[in-house]
Structure 1
């Protein structure tokens, strides 16, 4: 990813952990005048030889540029770091990991201090930043004019995807994707645990797992269509009643293998709950109907 067609405006980056350092190096390599600040000064000084200007304080760093990028530890760090800084007329782009509620509150906080605000969710590891073909991208939400004004700069380290003017939507997209990822990791972990101690090598199971999970990817789009239409029965291939009945085999196998079912039992329990709530209505459904239980008021 390069930035050959955009005016190289001065910018400031606060926070130089692994991700912040990767971002800084990518912007510097693209020729952006960059001011940096980090609580641990040594990390900032290491970038001076690459062309970064090192600020002695957050207030000094903010004063050096109109575009301020934040890549700090957490949302609380933002308030602490910027408490003494004048944000009037500044454009704040928050790459700090947070929740949707924190993104919305921080947007209101920034507006009250005279700044425009974008929240973001980074879908990449530091090694993917600035690496062509790595697939890195960042969700952005909040001020659309701010996003469009700096889009060329923001796309230097990773592709940029604007997901709405609600400041909480970048974090929500981020967490939704990460939650799905961890669910996938949980299933894979359970599968490998089942074969521990057997004459089955993990490396032999790996391609079978990849192939099977790829084939099951249809569920993503299928569930989206069913949740939109609220039609859970049409065109069902493997209905809820059958899947609940079959789930006993999964649990008995785990018991036989001495494997805890804790990674898969919550989902199996959810399917059973959906079926037992009204067997006549739900037996022929697709499993996507169980998703609706997760938003039930009062559910913990």
Structure 2
């Protein structure tokens, strides 16, 4: 298990704001625990009181209602399930929101984040949208990180508290930008995970077990990670002529993966979209360009990226 970041000191400090954590689910409990470990006066609320008791025994201050919790702290963190749960919880506390900073850590779309920012502003609260790139066991460790966007002054003011939960990255005043970056990162990961599961399907029955292959796959993915800055450089410059891994080279490889899948009775749905993009690029006379040039078939034509 990753080591926790050291607490600044063992006792609450006058410089540290009180923090209210609304929701003590899989992420809310380790987040509240991290604030307690770091010496913050931590107020907690949960719809079911059973999860409150263990934290109260460690020094958290339980509140019977979300409104009482919001009233008790200038910084309000909401690691709830989704947008609707946040609106429901804060909807009972609108009279207490003025002067508070709401940090929304629920599963949220970019437009929902913007909607919640506008809604909290009507009641005099600052808003930060947060995306948690972490698991419960990586809260308060260097292995996880959180993304934020929204009120810049609030991020600057409370950055020390935000860093208690995980290293914090700020993406500007548009409340939706943290969620856009969250989805982009998830898309990167899902592509790799889906490819891994497809590979296990190809290997099923060959005598190579999933655990054995996982070690090889992790080694291969580490190499691909080191290749990302080069791809980013090529895309940023829109220069693809000198890439070491060409469209035609990768087209042949992906064709081979698809054909092996068909011959083995394994769905090719994971890799067929990439195969089609590589074929389109090659048919357009760009087979000698870098693999990164496939980006040109993906990017929006009439709108900015974000």
Pairwise mapping of residues 26-65 of structure 1 onto structure 2 (< 5 A)? Answer: 26-65=34-73
| Residues 136 and 245 of structure 1: CA distance in aligned 2, closer, same or farther (over 3 Å) | closer
Query: Residue in 2 aligned with 1:217?
Result: 225
Alignment check: 8 A CA contact 1:6 1:152 kept: no
Q: Retained in 2: the 8 A contact 1:6–1:153? A: no
Match among 208, 220, 236 for residue 228 of structure 1: 236
> Are the equivalent residues in 1 in contact too, given 2:254–2:271 (CA < 8 A)?
no
| 1:266 maps to which of 273, 283, 288 | 273
Task: Spell out, residue by residue over 1:175-234, the C-alpha distance to the aligned partner (whole angstroms, 9 max, x if none).
Answer: 21111111111111112211111132334333322222222224422222222222222x
Matched, 1:129 2:139: yes
Is residue 2:157 matched to residue 1:149?
A: yes
Alignment partner of 2:214 out of 181, 202, 206: 206
RMSD of Structure 2 on Structure 1 (CA): 2.1
In the other structure, the counterpart of 2:128 is 118
- Provide the C-alpha distance between the structure 2 equivalents of 1:159 and 1:217, rounded to a whole number of angstroms: 20
Paired residue for 1:285? 289
Residue from 176, 186, 198 that aligns with 1:190: 198
1:237 aligns with 2:241: no
Answer whether contact 1:36 1:61 (CA < 8 A) is retained.
yes
CA contact (8 A) 2:45 2:69 kept: yes
Structure 1 unmatched runs, 5+: none
Are the counterparts in 1 of residues 243 and 291 from structure 2 also a CA contact under 8 Å?
no
- Pairing 1:3–2:8 present: yes
Superposed, which structure 2 residues align to 1:95-106 within 5 Å?
95-106=105-116
Gap regions ≥5 residues in structure 2: none
Normalized against structure 2, the TM-score is what?
A: 0.88
Q: Is the 8 A contact 1:3 1:153 kept in 2?
A: no
State the distance in 1 between where 2:73 and 2:212 align. 54
CA distance in 2, matches of 1:62, 1:168: 23
State the SS of the aligned residue for 1:121. Answer: strand
Worse-superposed segment, 35-44 or 115-124 = 35-44
Offset from partner CA, 1:1-36 (integer Å, 9 cap, x none) = 223388232221111101000101111122211111
Helix, strand or coil: the match of 1:161? strand
Using the alignment, how far apart are the partners of 2:287 and 2:275 within structure 1?
Answer: 15
Q: Matches of 1:202 and 1:42 in 2, distance apart?
A: 39
Q: Shift in Å at residue 140 of structure 1?
A: 1.4
Question: Do the aligned partners of 1:232 and 1:289 also contact (CA within 8 Å) in 2?
Answer: yes
Alignment of 1:148-187 (within 5 A): 148-187=156-195
Deviations 1:134-159 (A, max 9, x none): 51221111122111211111112222
Distance in 2, Cα, partners of 1:136 & 1:3: 19
The equivalent residue for 2:83 is 75
